[in-house]
Amino acid sequence: MNTDPLAVVRDFFAHFGPTHDDMVATARRLCHDDLWWASGGFDPPRVTSLDQLVTDLENARARKGVAGFRFELVHAAADGPYVLTERFDDSVDDHGRLLHSFKVMGTLKVEHGRIRWARDYFYDTREFAEQYLPEDFAADRSPILDDLMRAGD
């Protein structure tokens, strides 16, 4: 097992999709049992264990016609066990066609070759909330970045 934090994170995003089965298998292989993952600016985090992440992935199979995700890692840099990522998280349909692309920055911590915690920061949190949160969400402001700007441009 590779324990280099940058290699672990690159492996994770290379194999965490495009299908939910890929996501579950990769999470089980590369995430710590005592995982802590905060997405969309939620604190405390919505995911506090590997079992909860797997349950969320299983439940997501039927949500809004999303068959899975693929990830474009634009930049990644490590400082000890911490890895900072700039990426696109793309939701896809049953045929692999793009449904929505999220611009994301994330910080992950790797311990003993497994992701122990992660926090994602969305460029436009409304995109995430409108697409995937079960809570009601009201969009009352225009996005900071338009759809034509890609991370790293």
Residue of 81, 127, 77, 134 lying closest to 104 (CA atoms) = 127
Domain enclosing residue 81, as ranges: 5-132
Whether 148 maps to a domain, the answer reads no
Question: What does the pLDDT read at residue 78?
Answer: 97
Inside any domain, residue 113:
yes
Does 25 map to a domain? yes
Amino acid 40: pLDDT:
64
pLDDT, tens digit only, all 153 positions of the chain: 789 999 999 999 999 999 889 999 999 999 999 999 887 655 556 788 999 999 888 887 766 678 888 999 999 999 999 999 999 999 888 888 898 888 889 999 999 999 999 988 876 656 556 665 555 544 444 444 444 444 443
Q: Is residue 77 part of a domain?
A: yes
pLDDT on residue 41: 57
| H helix and E strand count, the chain | 4, 5
Classify residue 19: in a domain, yes or no: yes
pLDDT reported for residue 4: 96
CA gap 76, 104 in Å, rounded: 12
Q: Does residue 150 lie in a domain region?
A: no
The answer to whether 37 and 118 are in contact (CB under 8 A) is yes
Domain membership of residue 146 (yes or no) is no
pLDDT at residue 42 in the model: 57
* SS3 of residue 20 by DSSP: helix
Per the domain annotation, does 145 fall within a domain?
Answer: no
For residue 23, what is the domain's CATH number? 3.10.450.50
Given this model, what pLDDT does residue 149 score? 43
Distances in Å between the alpha carbon of 24 and those of 9, 18, 122, 152?
15, 11, 22, 29
The total of structural domains in the chain comes to 1
